[in-house]
Amino acid sequence: MKHPFDAHIGARLKLWRRSAGLTREEFGGRIGIGAEALRTLEEGEDRIDTGLLREVVQVSGVSPAFLFEGLAEAMRSAA
């Protein structure tokens, strides 16, 4: 079962990737994971670990704040 935290972070990651015009294959390759692994993160099926989060931030230049933006509201809505 998806946790609202993971679903939110994944959705924000997907939003960024799409706005950057990258496929899952392209972005996954840049951060060292396969397209299917990226899909499970984006869909909130898996939790992103801190090491991979650091890699996402370094490779993409996206701010960690962007990924967490709106999280409090999402958590309240899920409760």
State yes or no: pLDDT of 39 exceeds 90.
yes
> What's the pLDDT score for residue 14?
98
Could you give the CA distance from residue 60 to residue 45 in angstroms, rounded to a whole number? 22
Q: Domains in the chain, please, with CATH?
A: 4-78 (1.10.260.40)
In terms of phi and psi (left: phi > 0; alpha: psi -120 to 50; beta: otherwise), the region of 44 is left
In terms of phi and psi (left: phi > 0; alpha: psi -120 to 50; beta: otherwise), the region of 49 is beta
Q: State mean pLDDT over 39-52.
A: 96
Could you give the CA distance from residue 46 to residue 76 in angstroms, rounded to a whole number? 21
Cβ pair 71, 7 in contact under 8 A: no
Q: State mean pLDDT over 13-40.
A: 98
State yes or no: pLDDT of 1 exceeds 80.
no
> What's the pLDDT score for residue 79?
81
Percent residues over pLDDT 90 in the chain = 90
